[in-house]
Structure formats: C-alpha cells, structure tokens
Structure 1
Amino acid sequence: MENWGRLSHLFVTVFLSNFSELMMSPAIPDVTLAAVCPGKDECSAAIYLTGFQQAIAGIGSVIMMPLIGNLSDAYGRKLLLMIPLVLAIIPTVVLAWKRTTNFFYAYYAIKTLTAMITQGGVLCLALAYLADNVSEGKRVSAFGVLQGVVSAAYVGGTLAARLLSTAQIFQVATAVSIVAAIYMGVFLKETPRQIDALEQPILNLAESEEDSCKASKKIGVIRKIPSPRDIFRLLKSSITFSLAAFVAFFNSLAEAGLQACLLYFLKARFHFKKDQFADVLLIAYIGATISNMIFMPTLGPLIGEETLLSVGLFAGFLNMFFDSIAWAAWVPYASASMGMFLFLSSPNLRSIVSKQVGPNEQGLAQGCILGITAFANVISPLIYSPLSALVLAEDAPFHFQAGWLLFEYNDSHIFEKKPSNDSVEA
C-alpha cells in the first residue's frame, strides 16, 4: 500500500482515540442509572437523557462534519484532526475525577456539546486523509483496514472495560485520549496540498489563481461553512453519491436506535451489567476486526464494494431482528457473532463515496455523508426513545416479546420481574 509509513501513524491515532471512547461505553449505562435512578435497573429518564444527548450531538454534527471536512480541504487534515482529539479529553476527565450525580450531569453537558465534533470528526478526517494518500483502486482495501483498526480498538477497549473497575476505566480512558492527541501531533505528517487547494469546485471561492490568492486573505472561517445549497449540489453531482447518501441515512437511523436503547433493554430484560455488556460488544468487535482486516483487503478488489455493502446491510438486519426478539440471555451473544459481517457496510460505503469526487473535495464529501448520518441520529431518538421507555416501563401497556410468538416459548414466568441481584447466565 502506498505511503504505508504515513498511514501507520494515522491508524495508531485512530486506534488510540477509539480505544479510549469505547472503553467507557459498557460502564456508561451503570453510571447513568446510578446518577439518575439509584438502585434501579429500569429508568425511563436515563433513556430519554441518552436520546436527548444523541439528538443534540446529531444536530451539531449535521453542521460541523461538512464544515471541518471542508476546512481540512483548505487548511490540512492534521490541523483539523487535533480539534476532536483534544475535545474528547474534556468529558472523560470529569468522570475520571468523580462519578457522583453532580459530576455526571457536568459530564453529560460537556459530552453533549463536544460530541458535535468528536462523534464523527476523527473518522471524517481519517477517511479524507486516506483518500489523499491511496489510489482509487486500493481505497476499498485501505478503508477496510481503517475500519479494522477501529474494530480492533473496540475489542481492546471493551476487553479493558471487562477487566478494570469503573473508576479505573475512566482514568485509563483519559490517559489514552491524551496520548492519542500527543502522538498525532508529533508523528502524523500533513498531507501535501495542491497549489489550488483553496479553490473548491463545489463552493467556487475564487475564479482564478490571482483572485484566489487575494480572496484567501479576506475569507474568514464563517465563509467556508457549506450551505444546504452546496450540499444539495454535491448530492446532485452523482447518482451514485445520492444513492450512497440515501443508504447511509436509513442505515444510521436503524443503528442509532439500536445503540441508544439496546444496553438499557438488556439491562431491564436480562439484568445485564457492565461485564455482560462488554462480553456482547467484545464478540461483535472481534468478528468485525477479522472481517475488515482480512475479508475487505482480499475480497473488496475482487467482488466490489457494492456486493460487500449488501452483505453488511443484510447482516445488520439480522442482528437487529434477533436482538429485538431475544427470548433468552444467550441470544444477544449469538446475535453479536454476526459482527463478522455487520461492520462491512460503513467502509464500503465510504469507499464508494470517495470515488465520486475530486481530490480537493474528499473532506467535504466524507463530512457530508457523516452529516447525513448525524441527521439520522437526530431523528432516531424521537422514534426509539419514547417507544423503548414505554415498553420497558414497569407499568408497560403490554409485554412485547416477539420471540415468544415465533419460537413458541411458553414458559409463563419469562415475563415476571426478577430481583436485581439475580445472576445472568451467559
């Protein structure tokens, strides 16, 4: 692969950043419930808070992802990459210090604001950096390796969460996020920019080279914010790009709903705790690491991104379907094993998008797609949070258990409430 030394530093940065973020994920539901609803395994307020945070972060990301992508086209990937890496440190420090109710709400407010940039900023700029340094024919392999690195970070972070105490999780996550920012600043080399890097075909900032030099001194950052009209032009520039955006939106709409509510559903349904959450995530991410590090580089150039995208989308459907009808505690573990194919959709979708635009539009294009997925994250809580809170409430109007209907599971005590200290058989 071209520029392997340059790309290896990017992979290390992405690994450390995601390792820190995913290390905290299994512990967040327990911390949230302990702060909002002490002593309970079911809490509608916690679900609504999570959904609200996801929606606000999504609204901000709709604007910020195209913006930082477009700014990176002009000012370089490395400079812009430092912003989400530094912002990610702040909320992690709060929970590393204390996890009392007041500290939780401080973390919640800071995380909601910083997530507007950190939620997709690192990925957006990493994808644009790869597109700068890898030829079109090898991008599907490179994007697959990047997704494999992310999955490997998920495995490492989840395994660390499985072994560490809650207090240690946030302390280690803080240290790793700091190391990620320092490592990137020291080792990552900036992508060589072309002379006309400030001339964006979509935005038409300058008509000629002479005008561009003069305009670049006068145009402020606010001038570089892509308008909805600019995004619409980009979507119209290619039918393939438009279809990719359509797929990205609906796929993210479903995935965001699952991510926001699944852990709370498993906690209420089977009394899962931090260790069980980590086990389920670990199974999924190990499969994702294998598929993206091995299958994508080998099969991608042979069968094409479109085929692998279809496989990933179908695996995602099966995963959500079996989670939704889970009739026993082992079902989420079995469903997570589909992680071997579940995470194929994202890198293939990004690879398809990267081939539809020019070299000076990679940041804007990747930011546009991430902005669309962020918009799906805004809509998703409006659908799933009230529905999940309704069904998981103690006074739920009905017990939704589709698995009981499909598999004729007639054990009537399945709907009975269990004591919170019951052990979970994995």
Structure 2
Amino acid sequence: MCGTLTGLVVLDAVMASINGGKDVCCGPAFDAIACKTSMSLATRATSVFQVVGGIASILTIPMIGRAADIYGRKPLFVLTFLCSEVPALALVGVTHFNFSVYVYFATSMLLQMVPALSLFLLWINDCTAPEDRIKISARFEAFKSMEGIFVPLMVKVINGELTVSLIAYLRLLEMMIALCCLKESFQPRSTRARHALSQTWKAVKDVWRDVPRLCSFKATRSIFLLGFFATGTGLATISILFPFCKARFGVSRQTFSLLLIIQTASNAVVQFCITPRLKRWGLRCIFATGLACGAANLLAFMLSPSFSVLLGLATVAGFGSMGGPAFQTLMMDFVDSAATSETERGALLATLLALQNLFVVLMPPLYQAIFSVFVSPSMYGGRLMALPMAFGVFCQFVCILVLLRLSPEVFYPSSSSANRSLTS
C-alpha cells in the first residue's frame, strides 16, 4: 500500500526542498517557469538514484531467490518489509526534522535491492497449479491495485506531514502481517544454521550461473526480452504521469489522487473480473491485448486537452494492465519446466526477475531524464513534454508486432524441451 503513497509524497518533498518549502506548480505560489525548471531538476535527481539502486538490485535479486530456496519464503518476506521501513523513517526525517531529501533517496535503494514482487511470485508458484496461475496472478494484481483506491483517498483526507507519518506506520503494519499471518509455502533445505550459511555463501559465488542457461533457449529468450521491454516501458510512462500532469495542468497531489483512484479502480475491475475469464484466449492474445490497450491509453493521455478529460479516460485505463498477469504466468510456467528440482525454482525465477529488473530499473529513469529535458522552459517553453509518452506508444506497438510473429510453442513451454535446452 505504501508504494503509491510514497510516490505521491516524494515528488512534492523534492519540489519543496528545491523551492524553499513552496509548491510553485499549484496554489498561491504558482509560477509556470519555476514549476517546469524545478520539475526538470526533481525528475533528474530521482532518476539518478533509481539507476544506482537498480544496478545494485540486479546483483541482489538472484541472491534473494537462492536464499528463499535455502531458508524458505517467509523469512525473506519479513526481511523485505523490514528493509521497507528504513526509507519510510528517512522520509519522516525529511519532512519533520529537515533532513536532506538525499537521505531518503539513498535509503530508498533498499526497496529496489530487496523487492517483494519476486517473493510474491514464488509464493504463487508454490501454492497454485499451472492452469490456475493466470487467475491468481490477475487477482494478485487486482489486490495490488486496491492501494491506488484507498491511498489517494487518504491523501485527500490527511494532508501535510501526517501523510508521511502514515507511511511509516503502514510499513510497520505490513511487516507485522507478514510475520503473523503469512504461511510458509516452501520447506527450507536445512534447519541447521551452519549448513544454511554455507549454502548462502555458495549461492553468492555462483549467483549468475543460471543466466547463460536461460539465454540458451532461443524461443524463450525472445519472449522474455519482449516482456521485459514492454514491462519497463509501461512502468516508465507511469513514472512520468504525475510530473506530466503537475507541469501541464498544475494539479496538486490531492487533485491527482482522484485520477489514481479512478484508474486503479479500473485496473482492479479488469484484473478481478475480466482477465481470469480469458484463459481460453491464451497467453499470447491476453498479452497482445494488454499492450494494445496500454498504447491506446498513452495516446489518449498525451492528447488530452484538460485534466477533466483525463479523469474520464481513466475509467477504461484498466484494460492496459491485462498483459502483466499473462507474462508473470509465462515466467512461472517456464520455471516449472526448466527447474531440475524444487530447490532451484526460487533461484531461476529470481534470475528472470533480475533480468527484468534491468529494464524496470533503467527505463523509468531514462524516461524521466527525457521528460526533464523536454519539460524545461529552454526546450521550446516546455511544449514538447508529451514526447516521452509518444515514444512509449511507439515502443508498445513495436512489441505487439514482434509478439504476433513469435511461434505459438513459446507460450506453452514443455518440460522436455526446456530441460533439454538448459542442460545441453
């Protein structure tokens, strides 16, 4: 729940630190030139720290997967939520005790280095049959979308510094829920601490040994690269949506929260009610439909003449999220077919997610850097700020064309073919 809340608060905190505590993009201190200049600086600073944390996470995610195979899933969940509390406390220090905003940026890299998504996918992989994964993945995405409904409501009701304190309390609540309510889905290899530590050290030494094996399967390599690129493009365009609306329409985070509520409610409805009923379409069709709808959303948002029109378009934006569960299901199916034993599933899935994270981490800062250039008043007065979204539309359509040319066998990885390719 805290991811959306933090995203809404941090941008305002950075903008305020640049402008002496004032929000120059809305309210009585509005200044169009200062707003665009500050937005350029803020997005540039954010992108730099995201790149640094992302590069570190590419090394740590496979280690987290191997540790989950050694110790079980639940201890790693607790570690993930414990790490998430550190940047939340740093954000409290920024707003309440005048800490530098760079303290938050430095500690937020922990969230990228120990991500919860890989552990949730492992948990789904452990607990579900292959034919149920698209449904469970879609419902998992639906529940994730619920934060986009409740959190913006809290932002509209609870303003100012209390919102930041709420983040810290919610992070603590997440950790307590994981500790007390989450059931272990995988029995660890050994309960002996010395043996577990030796296995962890061995995992650190050969953490990337699965990459050449995964890349040796040509057909799967193509679909994974496509999925990684499409996922990175989608997250990159989402990362500039709030700065885009703030710079173009002068909206505050309270006003933007209404857009988030509508859009994520649409996501939840699509993922909970529609995507699970499309299993007969096949993973390729669901994936392609999600890409096409995502491109249409970006095009509509880019051409929207006012924020009110954006609110109307957000009611159907959820169809652009259909591709996520399909690609997650494909990764889990491949891990099942490629793993030679149950104790390799965490390592293989984590390696795939680390490769995906290479795109997820690098592409949002790239788009933010491009946006920071085109929103600057020196670049035609900031009139070209929508160009990063236009580039995202182009990338999504390229992904659709490549997806439709892939062999159908890619979307149904068989155990024999995958194992042959990985052991050859």
Indicate whether the TM-score tops 0.5.
Answer: yes
CA distance in 2, matches of 1:316, 1:366: 26
Contact in 1 for aligned 2:290/2:322 (Cα 8 Å) = yes
What code does the residue aligned with 2:277 have? T
What code does the residue aligned with 1:317 have? A
Distance 1:348 1:381, change over 3 A: closer
Distance 1:157 1:244, change over 3 A: farther
Spell out, residue by residue over 1:63-82, the C-alpha distance to the aligned partner (whole angstroms, 9 max, x if none). 22222122212221101111
Match of 1:201 in 2: none
Distance 1:66 1:22, change over 3 A: same
Alpha-carbon deviation of 1:322? 2.4
Contact in 2 for aligned 1:84/1:117 (Cα 8 Å) = no
Question: More displaced, 133-142 or 324-333?
Answer: 324-333
CA distance in 2, matches of 1:187, 1:386: 41
CA distance in 1, matches of 2:165, 2:13: 14
- The gaps in structure 1 that reach 5 residues or longer are 1-18, 199-212, 407-426
Distance 1:330 1:305, change over 3 A: same
Match of 1:324 in 2: 302
Distance 1:267 1:305, change over 3 A: same
Question: How many equivalent pairs are there?
Answer: 365
Distance 1:244 1:219, change over 3 A: farther
Match of 1:160 in 2: 154
Spell out, residue by residue over 1:84-103, the C-alpha distance to the aligned partner (whole angstroms, 9 max, x if none). 10011111123235516534
Alpha-carbon deviation of 1:29? 1.6
Residue of structure 2 aligned with 1:400, choices 374, 378, 384: 384
Contact in 1 for aligned 2:80/2:116 (Cα 8 Å) = yes
Contact in 1 for aligned 2:46/2:105 (Cα 8 Å) = no
Distance 1:361 1:139, change over 3 A: farther
What code does the residue aligned with 1:21 have? G
Spell out, residue by residue over 1:217-265, the C-alpha distance to the aligned partner (whole angstroms, 9 max, x if none). 673524213544422212334733x234212321133124323322112
Alpha-carbon deviation of 1:22? 1.7
Question: More displaced, 79-88 or 243-252?
Answer: 243-252
CA distance in 2, matches of 1:137, 1:172: 39
Match of 1:81 in 2: 77
Match of 2:394 in 1: none
Alpha-carbon deviation of 1:55? 1.2
Contact in 1 for aligned 2:62/2:207 (Cα 8 Å) = no
Contact in 2 for aligned 1:52/1:381 (Cα 8 Å) = no
CA distance in 2, matches of 1:340, 1:378: 23
Identical aligned pairs, as a percentage? 19
CA distance in 2, matches of 1:218, 1:271: 53
1:387 matched to 2:365? no
What code does the residue aligned with 2:18 have? V
- The gaps in structure 2 that reach 5 residues or longer are 25-34, 337-341, 391-424
Residue of structure 2 aligned with 1:190, choices 184, 187, 193: 184
Match of 2:255 in 1: 276
Distance 1:155 1:360, change over 3 A: farther
The two structures, once aligned, show a CA RMSD in angstroms of 2.7
Distance 1:248 1:58, change over 3 A: farther
Match of 1:376 in 2: 359
SS of structure 2 residue aligned to 1:193: coil
1:235 matched to 2:215? yes
Match of 1:33 in 2: 15
1:105 matched to 2:102? yes
Alpha-carbon deviation of 1:382? 5.8
Spell out, residue by residue over 1:385-423, the C-alpha distance to the aligned partner (whole angstroms, 9 max, x if none). 3321221112223632779xx9xxxxxxxxxxxxxxxxx
Distance 1:279 1:366, change over 3 A: farther
TM-score normalised over the length of structure 2: 0.78
Map 1:224-263 to 2 at 5 A: 224-225=203-204, 226-237=206-217, 239-240=219-220, 242-263=221-242
SS of structure 1 residue aligned to 2:240: helix
Distance 1:92 1:402, change over 3 A: closer
CA distance in 2, matches of 1:102, 1:218: 37
Distance 1:188 1:141, change over 3 A: same
Contact in 1 for aligned 2:74/2:182 (Cα 8 Å) = yes
Alpha-carbon deviation of 1:185? 0.9
TM-score normalised over the length of structure 1: 0.78
Residue of structure 2 aligned with 1:46, choices 20, 42, 67: 42
Match of 1:285 in 2: 264
Spell out, residue by residue over 1:178-205, the C-alpha distance to the aligned partner (whole angstroms, 9 max, x if none). 11111211122212438xx58xxxxxxx
1:57 matched to 2:53? yes
CA distance in 1, matches of 2:291, 2:242: 21
Map 1:122-201 to 2 at 5 A: 122-193=116-187, 197=189
SS of structure 2 residue aligned to 1:165: coil
Alpha-carbon deviation of 1:323? 2.6
Residue of structure 1 aligned with 2:331, choices 331, 341, 353: 353
Question: More displaced, 335-344 or 49-58?
Answer: 335-344
Higher helix share: 2
Distance 1:373 1:276, change over 3 A: farther
CA distance in 2, matches of 1:395, 1:217: 57
CA distance in 1, matches of 2:344, 2:311: 41
1:68 matched to 2:64? yes
What code does the residue aligned with 1:311 have? T
Distance 1:62 1:338, change over 3 A: farther
Distance 1:276 1:217, change over 3 A: closer
SS of structure 2 residue aligned to 1:66: helix
1:306 matched to 2:289? no
Distance 1:381 1:292, change over 3 A: closer
Contact in 2 for aligned 1:59/1:116 (Cα 8 Å) = no
Map 1:330-349 to 2 at 5 A: 330-349=308-327
Alpha-carbon deviation of 1:159? 2.0
